[in-house]
Structure 1
Amino acid sequence: MTDQVVDTGGVRVSTQGSDENQFLGRTRELKELRADIERAGLDTLSGRKAPRARVLLIAGRPGSGRTALAEELVRQVADRYADGVLRARLSEPDGTPVPVARAARELLTALGRPVPPGAGEDDLTAALREALAGRRALLLLDDAAESEQVDALLPDAPQCLVVAVSGGPLTGITDVRPCTVGGLDTKSAVELLSRHTGSVRITVDPRSAEGLAEVCQGQPAALMLAGGWLAARPKAAVADLAKQLQAESDEGTALGRVFRLAYASLPVNAARMLRLLTLAPGGFVDPHTASALAGCSVDGARSILDDLVALGLLHTVASPLPQYEVPACLYAHLKARTETQDRPAELQLARARMLERTVRLLQSCRTITETDSPETRQKLLAMPQALRFPNPRAAADWLTLRRPALLASARAAVADGELDTLARRLMSQLVRALVVHVGTHAAADDLYAVHSLVLDVAERQNLPREKAAALLNLGDVDARTGRTQAALVRYRAALDAGREANDPYATGRAMESVGGAHLELGDYDRAADWFGRALAQRLARDERADAARLYGRIGAAHTFAGRYGEALRNWRAAVAGHRKNGDLAAHARALSELARVQEYAGRPEESLRTCQEAVEWARRAEDTRLQGALYLRLADTLEHLGDPAAAQLHRGAARRMLGEEPEEPDADEPGSEQATFEPEQDPNAYEIRSTSAED
């Protein structure tokens, strides 16, 4: 038995026990839309090649069944588009337009294309057009608020089709084929009612059913609410409901009248929960969210949610986990009642409970991966059973499915401005959960968005320590994605914030990152200067491992600048530092770089001895790949010294170690192992560092 599923707009329905959704009516509209796909466009008629995808517009008021009509059209023609169907929703439930950049990110992710973290709208839309070039895909852009949203996402591929759903015309987009959606025909409207009430009540009084359909103006959402009301009252006659609605025929829209009747019949607890669901970010709700908002048990919330679905006041979302959606057509009606029936303090408390529950779920999601620790196991056992995940896989699946809602929660919490402490805890736990389950690089785009929100809160609350951490994290992502100049600006701002907070960690890391940015930009003198400032701080704090690493970064800057004497001095200091610290692998790598600089400086014999020493330390460190690379270095040096036979032996040893045909190091690229700017990867690099220890 399947759960009841209703698409926004309410034309497509499935009742319990049915195997598939059944679409009602709209025969004329579907015929016209399919004909518009085949009809020649203005460019074709004028003899020009169509530069962009064909755009079909389905326009209608919320609740008219416009989305369901679009989905049915997509279902009927999807087999013509070999590269599949892509979907994006362009409005929040309250009507706020979704930023084009966010929609483009979601579409690129659906295409399996990498999304550059922090990329701007123009870059993302250009990447989307490039990804769709040469493809034959179908895009469904639902609930478009502005024509600019659709225009920015149009692929430059005539073989693609875009189906846009909106409340009105899309002015400014050429050759749009509009289809205006009104009410259902009487036969389909009565059939929709019978799906909820059963055929008996409709059969015994067909005229009353037709009258009810007329009062509802054939609007699917209104008809579904009416059907839900009748289904909950088996003894009520269709004529009784029709008379009640006709008595209010002068008050508002048909949907508004039926909603008032359905809402008035709800139990107090169910009505309160339904109102509070408008606080759920993105309009997506699960039993935990509803439970926290209403202050009831998870099982109790699930029961009320299912009852609301049966009444047509909520929609279920196709998902492995129970998830629900507030119909966009009812959002304004519910919001109006929230503002008049709930005190602001009660709403704020509900938001706080929802955020706190989300924080605890994220904490549990992360903690389930750390069960090797007795302390962590004890913390898990102390959590209520409803908040625990059975295993890491279940936690990862939950995080993936709830990701859009979690990101929406973070955005809403920051925009609220009244619950910044909870917002900071939420973002801290979200970052940690993403890093654990998804990985720093795979989740970089989401992490960039979250750290931008952290920065907003830190600036608003004047928290220099958190501001520095956010700026460092954002700068690292900018640097890795090639926006080095932007990264440099972030790092300098982080340095100022770190100094204001008197945070040596932040200031040290910011100085080193500023140096790394200058190194990438080719300003080697400034790079060496900033690395030197960071080194002085590390030495003053007796941080020997970091000091040894910084000697190497200074050496790399001098190598690029061609100052081999200074480079040799700093690399020798790095070698000595790593040796004293007992870091065998770092010692071997520093010796490798020292040998490289010696070769550039015209000292091949010294380079050969140093490289042989590095091989020995790499062997002790059991770093096979480094040993292979060093054997290649030895082979190059031996060839320069006129011993090709020994060079060939070393190349053979490198091949055996690496298990493949190795790439030859480029002797013309001094310090090639240091050429790419990689920001320092600290274990706390993506951690919001001034959060409560209990999290």
Structure 2
Amino acid sequence: MTDQAVGGGHLPPEAMAVPATAAPGRRASGSRQDGAAARRAVPPATSPSVTGFAGRHRELKALYADIARAGLDTLSGRKGARSRVLLIAGRPGSGRTALAEELLRRLADDYPDGVLRATLTGPGGAPAGTDRTARDLLATLGVDAPPGAAEDELTECLREALAGRRALLFLDDAPGAEQVEPLLPDAPDCLVVVVSQGPLTGIPDVRPCALGGLDGAACVEILARYAGPTRITVDPRTADSVAEECGGQPAALVLAGAWLAARPKSSVADLRQALHAVPLPPDLPTGARPLFRAFRLAYEALPPPSARILRLLTLAPAGIVDAHTASALAGCSVAAADTTLGDFAALGLLRPLADGGDAAPAAAAPDAAGHPQYRLPGCLDPLVRVLLGEHERPADVQLARARMLERTVRLLQSCRAMAEPADSPARQKVAGLPRSLRFTSKDVAGHWLRSRRGALLDAARIAVADGELDTLDRRLMAALTRTLLAHQGAEAAAPDLYALHGLVLEVAERRELPREKAAALLNLADLDGQAGRTAQALTRYRGALEAARSVKDPVATGRALESLGGTYTELGDWQRAADWYGRALELRLARDEGADAARLYGRIGGAHTYAGRWGDALKEWRAAARTYRRLGDVAGQARATGEVARVQEYAGRPEEALRTCREAVETARKAGDGRLEAALQLRIADTLERLGDPAAARLHRAVGERLLEDHPE
């Protein structure tokens, strides 16, 4: 997750790592080593942090004091049941996120279980779903949650996972208490840091640390770090005036300082004059004016192509941008987009994203994964969206979305191909793509998939909600599903697949596509059944059956019928299970699908066996054995014959069971299935013991055990 405010005392990596005299945007290595004691102690007001954090010493002291103070539970003599909550409140652009990150950095050594981060507001200002947030936090903790689990179940899993841990939970850009409260852990040794614009009414024992403007010295320090100390030193009074024009807001100061840094021949007075010249909307609140002026100053200085790219970045899924996204949105080359994004970061218009701790494998050459990721800061997002509406026609916006989805589909196809053998047709096809759309190895492709997972899922959600690009979105969801399965496997990918199948169902219902509706319902029902939601699975299987029958789709119909039988088997309702399996059998026999028919005979026989209906069970298992014999499947015939023997024994007919089991042994020997022959020999031994022939039983048991040794799994 990333900051939702530009600056706040934090500067982009270019500014933090470069000496004050270096040109902005030029990277240099720097040390961030700091001792635990220094992290726990609030530094003196005259000593800036090694991370480039400026000011906010009073606020840091207040936050430390809030951590140390006794809570309401402690005052009443009880141990607190929930984590302590610290609230940093301020308007976007006030540096609230940067202050929280600085606090977390200093506290990190006291919380050995690490820092968990989540942003509770998505691009455009919509609250993020609590279920998605909880699932992402569980994934960070390495805890698997059932696919399709409800919000309450996921938040309960999160509380259980954090119980007994000592961790920091950072909830950024919280819209209100409703989004925060379900995520609070029942773990008094954890600490929750929340960033929000207002109070968290309804959460007890929370005192906000309200942010105003930075002090003058910190403001000047930010300007100097961008523009260099010389111009600031020769005109300190004008620098103070610029700080006042920026309202002490870090986001505005970063943009103003970057504007000055990009103009070596301009003075601080030129910057102040340029800020004054920016026209203000008449209805703009006073507190929003500094950031508006600084942003418009930076924006108006952009060349038209760059300005258009910036506007279109608001369309990026999950607010995450890389060169491929920008290239597709704007219709420019990947190299040009990469350069432009780097320029935006140097100007304070984008925030570079960290890799999230999942280091990328080394690549032999630049490829599709070799581009850094950025995020448009939350405080700038609404300003840029206004410009998008003013300058871009709806048709152009739709075209940009279509280009982005098409590029994403191609990247997913390339990513999936890397999970296949080197000589596969998919790998050979991908080899003909431009280098910018290829991956150098499976590990690199897998890292790209993991790092873009949230944005890829969000791209599908946005396209489905838009409703105008369903054809492209269906291709995207199909490609993403296959890619997740190829790189992660069905079990690990199940939660994401559940979300994707739900989106497919939404599109199928809107577009009246019965085949796709049936497929989506079947996939969702399978996952519901695996998660133990049997009633929901049954409802969806029936819906899939209805949709499949409406278009006479025999494959989906047969799968739905068998799945209904399997679900009733799980419930122990043997009569209904046999009935649904029987309907599926009729379909297979009508289509002359012998192998499937033989399998279904066996499933019906198994249901009758569990129900104690021995005559019906024998009939079905014998039908299965005959069908396997007709198909030439000797191993299947042996297994079915063995099951006939088992039912005969259950029915109290051991002599018949013994003869039938010996017949099954001969058939298994012909099939060359040593393990099946061993199991049958052991069953014969058990039957002989019950018949009072221990000597023969020992002989058959010895044969069975020797076969097991000769045919290990």
Residues 270-279 or 623-632, more deviating: 623-632
After TM superposition, the score normalised by the length of structure 1 is 0.90
Q: Does 1:414 align with 2:464?
A: yes
Counterpart check, 1:285 vs 2:321: yes
Once the two structures are superposed, what CA deviation does each residue of 1:345-395 show, in whole Å capped at 9, x if it has no partner? 000000000001101111111223345666435522442332122232222
Secondary structure of residue in 1 paired with 2:207: strand
Post-superposition Cα deviations, 1:115-164, rounded to whole Å, max 9, x if no partner, equal 10011011111111111122222111111112111110111111111111
Q: 1:378 to 1:488 in 2, by over 3 A?
A: same
- CA deviations on 1:312-351 (whole Å, 9 max, x unpaired) are 1111112344111111110000000000100000000000
Could you tell me which runs of 5 or more consecutive residues in structure 1 were left unpaired when the two chains were aligned: 661-695
Q: Secondary structure at the match of 1:299?
A: helix
Which residue in the other structure is 2:555 paired with? 505
My pick for the range that moved more, 28-37 or 332-341, is: 28-37
Q: Does 1:9 align with 2:20?
A: no
Aligned partner (choices 375, 383, 395) of residue 433 of structure 2 = 383
Q: How far did residue 38 of structure 1 move?
A: 1.9
Aligned position for 1:671: none
SS in 2 for 1:87: strand
Query: Which of the numbers 103, 109, 129 marks the counterpart of 2:159?
Result: 129
The residue aligned with 1:667 is none
Whether the 8 Å CA contact 2:85–2:194 is kept in 1: the answer is: yes
Amino acid of the structure 2 residue aligned with 1:254:
P
Q: Quote the Cα distance in structure 2 between the aligned partners of 1:618 and 1:226.
A: 82
SS class of match (1:329): coil
Equivalent pair of 1:631/1:654 in contact (CA under 8 Å): no
Match of 1:532 among 568, 582, 590: 582
Q: CA deviation at 1:641?
A: 3.5
1:177 pairs with 2:207 = yes
Say whether the 8 Å CA contact 1:284–1:326 is kept in structure 2: yes
The equivalent residue for 1:668 is none
Residue 294 of structure 2 corresponds to which residue in structure 1?
Answer: 258
Would the alpha carbon gap of residues 471 and 262 (structure 1) be closer, same or farther in structure 2, given more than 3 Å must change? same
Equivalent residue number for residue 342 of structure 1 = 392
Residue 216 in structure 1 maps to residue 252 in structure 2: no
Cα pair 1:8 1:315 within 8 Å, conserved: no
Paired with 2:323 and 2:572, the residues of 1 have a C-alpha distance of 55
Judging changes above 3 Å, is the alpha-carbon distance between structure 1 residues 249 and 528 closer, same or farther for their aligned structure 2 residues? same
User: Unaligned stretches of 5+ in structure 2?
Assistant: 18-26, 33-50, 361-369
In the alignment, is residue 273 of structure 1 matched against residue 309 of structure 2?
Answer: yes
- The match for 2:124 is 94
Matches within 5 A, 1:281-360: 281-319=317-355, 320=360, 321=370, 322-360=372-410
1:474 matched to 2:527? no
| Corresponding residue number in structure 2 for 1:465 | 515
Cα pair 1:9 1:66 within 8 Å, conserved: no
Match of 2:571 among 503, 514, 521: 521
Q: Does the CA contact (< 8 Å) of 2:588 and 2:597 recur in 1?
A: yes
After superposition, the C-alpha distances for 1:433-474 in whole angstroms (9 at most, x for unaligned) are: 111111111100100000000000000000000000000000
What secondary structure sits across from 2:85 in the alignment? strand
Distance 1:18 1:377, change over 3 A: closer
- Pairing partner for 1:49 from 45, 68, 79: 79
Aligned counterpart, 2:645: 595
1:184-223 to structure 2, matched below 5 A, reads: 184-223=214-253
Question: Aligned partners of 2:204 and 2:142: how far apart in 1?
Answer: 30
1:645 aligns to 2:656 (yes or no): no
CA distance 1:127–1:554, change in 2 (3 Å): same
Structure 1 residue 282: Cα displacement: 0.6
Could you tell me which amino acid in structure 1 is paired with residue 501 of structure 2? H
Give the letter for the 1:272 counterpart: R
Q: Which piece of structure 1 moves more, 456-465 or 48-57?
A: 48-57
Shift of the 228–590 alpha-carbon distance from structure 1 to 2, 3 Å rule, reads farther
Which shows bigger deviation, 629-638 or 271-280?
629-638
- Give the Cα separation in 1 of the matches to 2:55 and 2:591: 76
Q: State the 1:264 CA deviation.
A: 0.3
1:9 CA displacement: 3.3
Q: What is the correspondence of 1:57-96 to structure 2 with a 5 Å cutoff? A: 57-96=87-126
After superposition, the Cα gap between the structure-2 partners of 1:510 and 1:238, relative to the gap in structure 1 and judged at 3 Å, is: same
Alignment partners' CA distance in 2, 1:595 and 1:28: 83
**Which one is further off, 324-333 or 514-523?**
514-523
Question: Counterpart in 2 of 1:580?
Answer: 630
Rounded to whole Å, the distance in 1 between the matches of 2:667 and 2:235 is 92
Tell me whether 1:548 sits opposite 2:598 in the alignment.
Answer: yes
Share of identical aligned residues, percent? 62
Query: Do 1:599 and 1:607's aligned partners in 2 also have CA atoms closer than 8 Å?
Result: yes
The alignment partner of 1:217 has SS state of coil
Q: Aligned AA for 1:196? A: Y
Deviation string, structure 1 residues 570-601 (Cα, Å, up to 9, x no partner)? 12222232343344554444344333323322
Q: Which deviates further from its counterpart, 583-592 or 49-58?
A: 583-592
**2:194 is paired with a residue of what secondary structure?**
strand
CA contact under 8 A between 2:4 and 2:172: conserved in structure 1?
no
Name the stretch that deviates more: 293-302 or 175-184.
175-184
What is the TM-score normalised by the length of structure 2? 0.88
SS in 2 for 1:439: helix
8 Å CA contact 1:91–1:97 kept in 2: the answer is yes
Please point out which of 35, 58, 65 is paired with 1:28: 58
For residues 657 and 313 of structure 1, the distance between their equivalents in structure 2, rounded to whole angstroms, comes to 69
Cα distance in 1 between the residues matched to 2:309 and 2:191: 40
Query: Following the alignment from structure 2 to structure 1, what is the Cα–Cα distance between the partners of residues 389 and 130?
Result: 30
Letter in 2 for 1:12: H
1:454 alignment partner in structure 2:
504
Contact 1:634–1:650 (CA<8 Å) still a contact in 2? no
Between 1:485-494 and 1:387-396, the stretch displaced more is 387-396
**Does the residue aligned with 1:17 lie in a helix, a strand or coil?**
coil
SS state of the match for residue 131, structure 2?
Answer: helix
1:666 maps to what in 2?
A: none
* 1:91-117 Cα deviation digits (max 9, x unpaired): 102111111110110111111111100
Aligned to 2:363: none
- Letter paired with 1:645: R
Corresponding residue for residue 493 of structure 2: 443
Q: Work out whether residues 5 and 94 of structure 2, in 8 Å CA contact, stay in contact via their aligned partners in 1.
A: no
Q: In the TM superposition, what are the counterparts of 1:620-659 in structure 2 within 5 Å? A: 630=680, 633-642=683-692, 643=694, 645-646=698-699, 649=702, 652-653=705-706, 656=709
Q: Are residue 142 (structure 1) and residue 172 (structure 2) matched?
A: yes
Q: Is the alpha carbon distance of 1:30 and 1:579 closer, same or farther for their aligned partners in structure 2, counting shifts above 3 Å? A: farther
